Each structure stands twice: as structure tokens, then as C-alpha cells.
């Protein structure tokens, strides 16, 4: 027998050898990175508090959307796929750890530091007589008339408690007016009441003193139950599963069905219970039974049960030195204020890097289209636009001026359903053509098409974006807007609108990659082509920036490409299931997350195969839902100057960020990046703010 036969057979690593990271734990890890901003001493104090509130808001949505299947597995022992008793317990442990860090920071750092700055939330026990009198007057005038305590008995069952509402549970001694010993009462706190109240100068002196609504009620609970002894009590808050489930195949009017569904959203299945840290076991067990929750779903918090509402305190304090310096976005650098967009776009495409450049450029484009008598039609998609939107007012004015206005409104944009239904009804009522996309798919693509008569021809102009048509979030999210008169690209946009309206077969598109038809396969194809070039000894490079990476087919393709020699950098803000830098498996793949002052939201995909370079902007993250269950766009940037600009500003800058970046480690944890050697630390967002800050001044605006 040959000695070589005794040697172990060497096998090449495969993508199947790689165990992917857990999506839900990756979401919690993202919130750990956001929470880091609340810890950072280089961040202004009130902004640190704001980041703490952002984490709480994110956790609310996490529980509303992601917790139910884990809980179902725990409760019913219904173990399917990734959901099991073990998955619930591991997720609960990670969430409890994150919440404990939040409240430790709140109590031990943020509140004492705020107090040193003369800003304090003053508890009942710390109030002097004058302050107690003021609080009592406030309670009697503003609060008590809206409270209705409910004593529980067979004729008064446990009341319906709305999702994320503030409530009190009270254990009473003695007997009620009828001689009965019903000991439990519930006090529901109306949402119309502010959660933070600033005390007037006459009782707060030189300090900015606040009282929380829960503290006001807590200090006067006994007055709500005359003749009874108030013993144990606690504030509590329940989070409910809030994903709307509507069988689109089985409804005749999606708008009506969703509006009806919204009425019940606040009373879905309970998934989390928050109580005060001092809540007695007797009361917490009672609440757990009422909401049919296991012990792991109980969160005892040493502070307000809803940290999100502390944003009200930030709004009530006028302390510019404790906030970020005001940033004023410049007018888009490729545009001249007051000049015609239609004439400018005949010279070439325009790209706007938001929020460093202002979204006002997009509004100005639509405004000119509305006011131009030669514009005959405007088509637009709406995913999130907010409840008070100049953009929607402009579309309404376009209808009034007799233009053909078609709006594809996504009614199922999570937590924006009601606003979108209201806009759809308004536009429909004044004569706009309102569409709701394709049954079973969310229309997530961001596009606007303007058709204008020019001589004897009709010419199209388009706006495509990685972000939403929401002027408020456009000041807070990083995104790219692309204005174009390119006939190939505008024809593609027209064909997509026709497809959404008529559901006719989609023609071959010139430049746009459309989900759910081509985008997924095209991206995998480009990754595979890079792998082939690398395997043949060529130069292959992939850099992709997105909000989430959870699609397993794309992940497998990236892993295989990396194993064949493709150098891959992924800038993924949130959940990422691809484990980077695993020795022998994913050595060629780096994953970085950047958490900054602005929310990273742009999707940019760069592919290099030897001398060929391609760059795409997109509305889509690399998630299965985006590829298979949404209408999404990706489109190429063909102008070499603008392509290089996007590469430099949105890829290279972030790959060299030494302030706000985190690298994904092989074990799934993240390590914050620090500047190497003696080089000054570089933050991508700060550098871009500085780059664009002087443009308006230079123009004399």
C-alpha cells in the first residue's frame, strides 16, 4: 500500500462549510452599536440621551415584529426551524442584557451628568413643599379628570391594554363600597397626556426641573381610591405583536381591509411585559398570567418603563451646547438655484448626496414640474412620506392644474400604513390615479417620472432614489437621489410604472434591474462572474453598502467568490448573517458597520472584473424579502465622473472610517475601529459634512 494513501485527503472549503450568524441576535448587536453612542463622551449630552431613546424605540419594533415566533415556540413547544425554546431563551437573555445596560447608563451616567448641567427629573420624594403643591395642582387640573381606575371583579374583567401604553397595577387593602375584597385595580394612562412635564421657573429656580407623568400619578394614587389602602403598585407596559396580516388574495379592497386591521393592531398578542424594578412578585405574576407570558418575557426596569418618551425632555430643554451643532445641508452642488431642471438635465445627470446636500433639490424638481404648463403627466411611488408632506401637497396641486397624476402608494409600509391610507384617499378623492402595486408584493422602489411636451415630442425626466420621499427623514438619513433625462433609463421607469398599473408582461429593460424578476439573479450572476475572473488569476473586487444582509443565496455566492480569491468589502449597517474573516473560509471578506450622526441608508453596489467596473444604486437591501417579495430597483451609474464620486464618498470614505465604524469579528461580535498609528481619526460622515458645508457660501446663497 502506498504511503500516500495513509495521508488525510485535503478538501477545499465550501460555502456550505460556513455556519451563518443568527439574524435576530445580529439585530440586537446592531442596537448595541447604537447604544455605544449614548456612552461616548465625545457626543453632546442631550444627543447621548437621544441615542438611548433610539435604542428603546428600535427594541419596541424588534419585539413587535420579530419576537412572536420565538415566543410561540416557548409557549407551545412548537419548534420549527430556527424557532425553539432554546432560541427564545437565548434571545431573551441577549435582550435582557441590552436593557440592563440601557438602564445602568441612564441611572449611573446620563441622569447624574444632566443634573450637573442643571437638568433634572425630580421624583416625588425629592420635591420641596412648593413643588409638591404645583404637581398636585397639575394632577388635579390636567391628569385626574382623564383617569378612570378599574377595580377587577367578575363584572369588571381585566381591561384591554393597548400596545406600549402606560398603565398602573395597584393592590388594594380593605373593602370596596359594596363590602367586597377585590384587591387588584388597573389605571390606564391616556396617550394624550405628555410623559414629561417641565416645572415652571417659580418652583424650579435656576434649574430645568421635570416631572414624569408616571411620577405625578404615582404620588397621587391613593386619591384615586378613597376609602381603600393602596399597598403594592407598579407601572407596567405591554408590547404586542404588531405586524399586520392581511390575506391580499382574499380581499376585494386592500385599503379598506388594512384600515380595519389597523383598528386591532394595538391589541395583538402580547410578547413583552415591562414593570418597575420594585414590582412585587404577586403583581408581576398576576400580569404574566393575564398576558399569557413566560417569565423570560418579563423585564423589570429601574426607571421609566418607556425610555422613548424621554425625547420630550430633549425637546423641552433649550441648551444648544448639549446638542449637535446645527448642520445646514447645501443646495445640490450640480444644480443652480432658480435654473430650470429640464434644461440642466439635457446636459447630463444630477446626483444628490443626502443629507449633506439638501432634499430641497428634489422638491424643487417636482415643484417646477407642477408649475410648468408643458408637463403633462407625473407618476410617483410613495412608500414613506410622513403625515405632513410638501411633496404630497405638490401632487395635489398638480391634479388641480389638470395634469395626469399617477401615484403608486404602498399601503403596507410597516407603521406608516395609516398615513399612506390617508394620502391615498385624499389623492383618490380629487381625481389622481391611485394604485396599490402588485398583490403579494410591497412596492419599495423609489421613482418619479415626469412627461413633458417639447415641440412635437414628449420627453421624459426621472428621479430615482435609494431613500424615501420624506422631507423629514431626508435630513437624517444618508441616501442618493439621481435625476436623469437618459432615454434608456426613463423608458425603463415608464415600463415599470405601466407594469405596476396594468400587470402586463414586463418588456426587456435597458438598464434597470427589477425585483422580484431579475435583481436577485443578476446580483448572483455578477458575484459569480467576479469569482470566475479571480479563479483565472484576474483582478476581482466587490464592495457593497446596504442596511442588511440576510439573503442566504447571496451570502453563499459571496462566500464562494471570496474562497476563489475575490476581495470583498461589505458595509452593512444592521443585521448581517455572513460571518467574516473565518480562517480558511471567509478570509477575503470583511464586514463593516458604520453608526453615525445620520442613519446610514444608501445602497451602493460596486463590481470590478479586471478592467470592467460597474456601480449600481438601489432601493433594495440584500434580504430575501427585498429580492422575492418586493418591487425593487437597482440601476447603473454610467457617468464615470459621478461613479467615481459615489465610490469615493460612499465606499472608500466608509472603508477608512476610524471613528464611527465597527468590524465584524469571526465569532459574530463587533469591534469598534480605531485609527492606526499616529494618523488622526477619520469619520466618514464628519468628513462629508465638512466637504459640503462651504458650497452655499461659495455660491453666495
623 Rama class: left (phi>0) / alpha (psi -120 to 50) / beta:
beta
DSSP state, residue 488: H
3-state SS class at 460: strand
Residue 216's alpha-carbon distances to 7, 248, 633, in angstroms, are: 77, 46, 51
3-state secondary structure of 668: coil
Q: Please, which residues bridge with residue 355 across strands?
A: none
Alpha-carbon span 467 to 475, nearest angstrom:
11
Q: Is-contact 380 447, C-beta < 8 A? A: yes
Instruction: Give the chain's radius of gyration (CA, Å).
Output: 28
Beta strands 167-173 and 184-188 are antiparallel
Q: How far is CA 139 from CA 193, 216, 270, in A?
A: 11, 7, 30
Establish whether the linkage from the previous residue to 166 is cis, with ω within 30° of 0: no
User: What gap in Å lies between CA 445 and CA 466, rounded to an integer?
Assistant: 8
Backbone angles phi, psi at 104, to 5 degrees: -65, -45
User: DSSP readout, 241-273?
Assistant: -------GGG-S-HHHHHHHHHHHHTTS-EEEE
Beta bridge partners of residue 447, listed in sequence order: 464
Pairs from 284-289 (Cβ < 8 Å, separation ≥ 24): 284/234, 286/169, 286/184, 287/169, 287/236, 287/238
Question: How far is the C-alpha of 276 from the C-alpha of 284, rounded, in Å?
Answer: 9
- 433, β-bridge pairs: 406
What DSSP designation does 84 have?
S
Cell 451616567 -> residue = 109
Task: Please say whether the dihedral angle defined by the alpha carbons of residues 352, 354, 614 and 448, taken in this order, is positive or negative.
Answer: negative
Q: Which residues are designated catalytic?
A: 444
Using CA atoms, how far apart are residues 273 and 284, in angstroms rounded to an integer?
9
Amino acid at each position: 500500500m502506498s504511503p500516500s494513501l495513509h495521508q488525510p485527503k485535503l478538501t477545499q472549503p465550501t460555502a456550505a462549510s460556513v455556519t451563518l450568524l443568527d439574524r435576530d441576535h445580529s439585530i440586537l448587536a446592531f442596537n448595541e452599536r447604537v447604544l455605544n453612542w449614548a456612552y461616548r463622551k465625545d457626543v453632546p449630552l442631550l444627543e447621548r440621551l437621544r441615542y438611548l431613546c433610539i435604542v428603546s424605540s428600535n427594541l419596541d419594533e424588534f419585539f413587535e415584529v420579530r419576537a412572536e415566533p420565538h415566543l410561540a415556540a416557548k409557549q407551545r413547544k412548537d419548534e420549527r426551524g430556527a424557532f425553539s425554546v432554546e432560541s427564545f431563551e437565548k434571545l431573551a437573555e441577549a435582550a435582557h442584557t441590552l436593557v440592563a445596560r440601557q438602564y445602568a447608563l441612564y441611572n449611573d451616567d446620563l441622569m447624574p451628568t444632566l443634573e450637573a448641567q442643571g437638568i433634572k427629573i425630580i421624583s416625588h420624594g425629592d420635591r420641596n413643599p412648593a413643588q409638591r403643591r404645583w404637581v398636585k395642582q397639575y394632577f388635579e387640573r390636567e391628569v385626574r379628570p382623564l383617569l378612570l381606575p378599574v377595580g377587577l371583579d367578575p363584572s369588571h374583567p381585566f381591561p384591554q391594554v393597548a400596545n406600549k401604553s402606560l398603565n398602573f397595577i395597584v393592590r388594594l387593602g380593605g373593602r370596596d363600597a359594596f363590602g367586597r375584597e377585590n384587591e387588584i385595580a388597573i389605571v390606564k394612562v391616556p396617550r394624550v397626556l405628555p410623559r414629561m412635564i417641565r416645572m415652571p421657573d417659580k418652583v424650579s429656580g435656576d434649574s430645568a426641573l421635570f416631572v414624569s407623568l408616571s411620577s405625578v400619578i404615582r404620588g397621587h394614587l391613593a386619591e384615586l381610591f378613597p376609602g381603600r389602602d393602596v399597598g403594592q403598585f407598579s407601572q407596567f407596559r405591554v408590547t404586542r405583536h404588531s405586524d399586520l396580516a392581511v390575506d391580499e388574495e382574499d380581499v376585494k379592497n386592500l385599503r379598506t381591509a388594512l384600515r380595519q386591521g389597523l383598528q386591532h393592531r394595538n391589541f395583538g398578542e402580547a410578547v413583552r411585559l415591562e414593570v418597575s424594578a420594585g414590582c412585587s412578585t404577586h403583581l408581576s405574576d398576576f400580569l404574566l398570567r393575564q398576558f399569557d407570558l413566560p417569565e423570560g418575557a418579563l423585564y423589570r426596569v429601574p426607571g421609566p418603563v418607556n425610555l422613548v418618551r424621554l425625547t420630550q425632555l430633549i425637546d423641552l430643554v433649550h441648551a444648544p451646547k448639549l446638542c449637535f451643532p446645527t448642520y445646514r445641508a447645501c443646495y445640490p452642488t450640480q444644480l443652480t438655484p432658480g435654473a430650470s431642471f429640464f434644461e440642466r438635465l439635457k446636459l447630463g445627470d444630477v446626483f444628490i448626496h443626502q443629507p449633506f446636500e439638501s432634499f430641497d433639490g428634489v422638491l424643487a424638481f417636482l415643484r417646477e414640474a407642477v408649475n410648468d404648463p408643458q408637463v403633462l403627466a407625473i407618476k410617483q411611488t410613495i412608500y414613506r412620506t410622513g403625515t405632513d408632506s410638501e411633496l404630497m401637497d405638490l401632487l395635489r396641486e398638480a391634479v388641480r392644474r389638470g395634469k395626469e397624476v399617477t401615484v403608486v402608494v404602498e399601503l403596507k409600509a410597516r407603521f406608516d400604513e395609516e398615513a399612506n391610507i390617508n394620502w391615498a384617499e385624499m389623492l383618490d378623492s380629487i381625481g389622481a390615479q391611485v394604485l396599490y402595486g402588485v398583490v403579494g408584493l410591497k412596492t419599495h422602489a423609489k421613482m418619479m417620472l415626469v412627461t413633458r411636451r417639447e415641440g412635437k415630442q414628449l420627453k421624459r425626466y426621472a428621479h430615482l432614489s435609494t431613500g424615501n420621499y420624506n422631507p423629514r427623514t431626508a435630513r437624517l438619513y444618508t441616501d442618493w437621489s439621481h435625476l436623469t433625462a437618459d432615454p434608456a433609463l426613463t423608458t425603463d421607469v415608464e415600463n415599470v410604472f405601466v407594469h405596476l398599473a396594468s400587470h402586463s408582461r414586463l418588456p426587456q429593460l435597458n438598464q434597470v434591474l427589477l425585483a422580484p424578476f431579475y435583481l436577485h439573479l443578476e446580483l448572483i450572476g455578477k458575484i459569480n462572474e467576479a469569482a470566475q475572473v479571480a479563479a483565472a488569476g484576474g483582478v476581482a473586487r466587490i464592495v457593497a453598502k446596504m442596511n442588511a444582509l440576510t439573503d442566504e443565496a447571496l451570502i453563499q455566492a459571496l462566500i464562494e467568490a471570496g474562497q476563489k480569491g475575490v476581495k470583498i468589502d461589505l458595509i452593512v449597517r444592521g443585521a448581517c448573517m455572513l460571518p467574516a474573516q473565518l480562517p480558511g473560509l471567509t478570509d477575503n471578506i470583511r464586514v463593516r458597520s458604520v453608526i453615525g450622526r445620520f442613519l446610514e441608508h444608501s445602497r451602493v453596489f460596486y463590481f470590478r472584473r479586471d478592467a470592467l467596473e460597474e456601480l449600481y444604486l438601489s432601493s433594495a437591501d440584500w434580504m430575501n424579502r427585498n429580492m422575492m417579495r418586493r418591487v425593487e430597483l437597482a440601476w447603473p451609474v454610467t457617468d464615470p465622473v459621478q461613479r467615481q464620486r459615489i465610490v469615493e464618498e460612499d465606499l472608500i470614505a466608509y472603508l477608512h472610517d476610524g471613528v464611527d465604524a465597527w468590524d465584524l469579528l469571526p465569532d459574530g461580535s463587533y469591534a469598534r475601529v480605531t485609527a492606526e498609528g499616529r494618523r488622526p481619526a477619520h469619520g466618514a460622515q464628519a468628513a462629508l459634512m465638512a466637504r459640503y458645508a462651504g458650497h452655499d457660501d461659495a455660491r453666495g446663497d
